[in-house]
Structure 1
Amino acid sequence: MWSGDELDLDAYLERIGYQGERGTPGELRPDLRTLYAVHRAHTAAVAFESLDVLLGRPVALDLKSIEDKLVHARRGGYCYEQNSLLAAALERIGFEVSGRGARNRTRGDSVLAVTHAVLVVTVAGEPWLCDAGFGFQGPREPVPLARPGAEVRQGEWMYRVREEEDGVLVLCLLRGDTWRDLYAFSPQHYHPVDYVVLNHYSSSHPASSFTGRLIVQQAGDRVRQALVGRELTRLHPDGLVEQETIGPDGLLAVLDREFGLRLPDRDVAELVRIHRAED
């Protein structure tokens, strides 16, 4: 389903900095240890970004295009790209992977459309939420789904999944002393073609949060960072939020230093022009 047989697995593993117990991809197994290691390496290495949308370029979801961009060009991507790539890699390793569509809940009581792509991976009969594409608040590691309400520590960050009516599951993040909903998803299975439809809205509709706005994010071990427009936000586990304004002259250094993104000259010039136009 996820075109895992077409993926250059060695190149992907090199891109995310994955090393097995003996440093060879051949030792990968569809077990929980491998799932944790691949998920964590992916989220550490590949930034969340939607720069192609800002630059007015189509976002292709066929595996070759995603591999060329995120693996070989060492770019980042947003949820449809990130989780499609992760799904292909996990499928290639031998995992059972299915998709879900999620509804963002980070904007208060507003009811938003289902536009977020997540994965459910089954290991030894137990489902795990896997998500490399929710930006700086997203999980770094798989989150168990078989025990709703259980608190899961990932470094200095805490997550839990709670269950609502009709089998809806909600991923929550502890910020300071408060549990906050990140997104909710139903048991309905989504296929790659469903993400093509959601991607069309997210990359082109005027109401999409990605159109006309620079968004780059990274879920670090301790500090989570998000550059939205000119505002660089640093989120700490204790709930502390720091903000800094990034002008056009500092944009490229921040993209490189904080998010590991180095772009072609033509992209750099256009991004700086857009950033400067916000004055």
Structure 2
Amino acid sequence: MSEDLGYGWQGELLDLPAYLKRIGHVGGTAPTAATLRALHRTHVTSIPFENLEIILGRPVDLSLDAVQAKLVERPRGGYCFEHNRLFAAVLERLGYEVTAVAGRVTMGASKILPATHALLHVRPPDASRDEPAWLCDVGFGAGPLEPLRLVDGEEAVQDGWGFRLRRGRTVTAWTPNTSEWELHQRGPDGWVQRHTSVLNEVFRIDFEVGSHYVSTSARSPFTTRPFVQRFAPDSLRVLDGKTLKITRPDGRTEARTLAPEDLPKTLEEDFGIALEDKDRTRLTDIIRAKA
């Protein structure tokens, strides 16, 4: 067996039929732009975003076996590094050209923040180099439903949800030809810059480094409370600590505060996440202790 040098996404190790069943994809799998859009949509709407392993005190394993076991074989989800680790392997297996890039989640902030988000730059194998590639973001938890073409000013309204891509500032004087790509999301008060990225390739080992920071640092937003999202054409459900918030494409929202003992049931009914009995009890105890 040859040594694994860390390149590529190990698509040959993927259980593709199990993945397609998990996301409910029933169409073709030829590596076209149409297939990419369909897979992106069914992945985003089927596998939730969640940080529960971190809250339960367990490490996040990014090996393909572990990610498949959690996101495909079990009614669980994950965060961006897990989602895009899996999706990259799927696309590679199907024949797409897949390159990972790192993003800085800003949510409107202007200061420099760490590159702790994973995205994918994807081309169908028969696409001309003159055609724009696609930016896939299945691991943010709040869409987009489908990938966006890497075109400056590209806007997409997907089932009422608005997204756009823009070229941002030049990164540094040392790289005058390199600029950031900004992904904006439309909210009730207009467009908000969600994250920025530079088209510099990152690898599986970089996912490991970013995931370690996100899952262990006291400065990470994911080490302090449960944060779970499920995106659908008609709603974005977010569990932030004990607060359940539902947002509609037109901006309407509703929110309520849950009792700690209600969290496991809410995870199952609203997010499709079924915890094992010991984890249900542990999560309830952790949230009750924080309160």
> Shorter-chain TM-score: what band?
over 0.9
Contact 1:100 1:117 in 2 (8 A): yes
What's 2:176 paired with?
none
Contact 2:44 2:141 in 1 (8 A): no
- Alpha-carbon separation, structure 1, partners of 2:135 and 2:195: 12
Counterparts in 2 of 1:1-279, with a 5 A limit? Answer: 1-20=8-27, 27-106=28-107, 108-123=109-124, 124-125=127-128, 126-136=132-142, 138-145=143-150, 147-166=151-170, 167-176=179-188, 178-279=190-291
Q: Per the alignment, in what secondary structure is the counterpart of residue 76 of structure 2? A: coil
Alignment TM-score, normalising by the size of structure 2 = 0.90
1:157-197 CA-partner distances (Å, limit 9, x unpaired)? 11110101232100011113511111000011111111100
> How many Å apart are 1:247 and its aligned residue?
1.0
> How many Å apart are 1:251 and its aligned residue?
1.2
1:215-241 CA-partner distances (Å, limit 9, x unpaired)? 110112121111010111122222233
In the alignment of these two chains, the number of paired residues is: 271
Q: Per the alignment, in what secondary structure is the counterpart of residue 119 of structure 2? A: strand
Unaligned runs of 5+ in 2: 1-7, 171-178
- Alpha-carbon separation, structure 1, partners of 2:245 and 2:109: 19
> How many Å apart are 1:249 and its aligned residue?
2.8
Alignment TM-score, normalising by the size of structure 1 = 0.94
> How many Å apart are 1:122 and its aligned residue?
1.1
Contact 1:176 1:237 in 2 (8 A): no
Deviates more, 1:226-235 or 1:239-248: 239-248
Unaligned runs of 5+ in 1: 21-26
What's 1:24 paired with?
none
- Alpha-carbon separation, structure 2, partners of 1:75 and 1:181: 29
1:103-155 CA-partner distances (Å, limit 9, x unpaired)? 0011633431110001110131331010111112x31111111x211211111
1:27-84 CA-partner distances (Å, limit 9, x unpaired)? 4111011101111111111000010011110101110110111111231000000011
What's 1:23 paired with?
none
Q: Per the alignment, in what secondary structure is the counterpart of residue 238 of structure 2? A: strand
**Counterpart residue type for residue 152 of structure 2:** P
Segments of 4+ moved more than 4 angstroms = none
Q: Which has the higher helix share?
A: 1
Contact 1:162 1:170 in 2 (8 A): yes
The root-mean-square deviation of aligned C-alpha atoms, in Å, is: 1.3
**Counterpart residue type for residue 58 of structure 1:** P
| % identical equivalent positions | 40
- Alpha-carbon separation, structure 1, partners of 2:36 and 2:281: 39
